[in-house]
Amino acid sequence: MMDRVLNMKGSKSALGENVRTIVYALGIALILRTLLFQPFHIPSESMVPTLATGDYIFASKFSYGYSRHSLPLSPPIFDGRILGGQPDRGDVVVFKYPRDNRTDYIKRVVGLPGDRIQMIDGVLNINGQPVGHEFVKSLNTTDDFGNRRATQVYRETFPNGDTHIIFDQRKGGPADNTRVFFVPENHYFMMGDNRDDSRDSRYFDAVPAENLVGKAQIIFFSVNENFRLLRPWTWFNFRLGRFFHGVRANAEEL
């Protein structure tokens, strides 16, 4: 009888220890996710060729400080940013879509507070001056729906020297010529690298600094468009060449 009582006490003690371990692990994971790095999945091709549909990235939360959007569910416990740093022109940034403050978007910072931004014949103009727009080559690409199309590849260079690759798939598209956008204080103008297939600040205007979530740093996992979680035979459709690459490295390898 005594042995049985001791065994029951031991089982309860072991169960309690296991529960505490799980709680501690979840607490540490929450702290890491909130303060340091958060994983995100890329669901569309708006940032091709820098990021592909099916990429999984880590974004650094500490790069721009913290706002309510740094926390799960974006609780309205304070306004603005604390310990804030400012994005550089050319950074690839995760932010909350400003029209619902809930949906995660990822784009490149092209306009800083005080800038005037305009697209003219498919070329980005900053403060009345066209940025570097060097033709690289033509590609035949396939979109997420299997459609083949001719794509022009350009190397875009910002005034601060930041260089990256962009896609131009349709000359004279609806966002190739825009009005002049003035970027207000504490706002940033965002655009996708796949210029004709990106819904960005050309459509919803500049993004408040409070909506910034983190800076995209590294692709840690990637699967192709055939991957389906509920179809085990597709689980090995990995893009191994994209694993553990810096966000910029993949586009430069075109």
- DSSP characters for the chain? -HHHHHHHHHHHHHHHHHHHHHHHHHHHHHHHHHHTEEEEE--SSTTTTTS-TTEEEEEESGGG-B-GGGSTT---S--S-BS---PPTT-EEEEE-TTTS-SEEEEEEEE-TT-EEEEETTEEEETTEEPEEEEEEEEEEE-TTS-EEEEEEEEEE-TT--EEEEEE--TT-TTSS-PPEE--TTEEEEE-SBGGG---HHHH-PEEGGGEEEEEEEEEEEB-TT--TT-GGGTT-B-GGGTTEEHHHHHHT-
107 classed as catalytic: yes
Catalytic residue among 67, 107, 198, 201: 107
198 classed as catalytic: no
Catalytic residue among 46, 63, 198, 222: 46
Positions annotated as catalytic residues are 46, 107
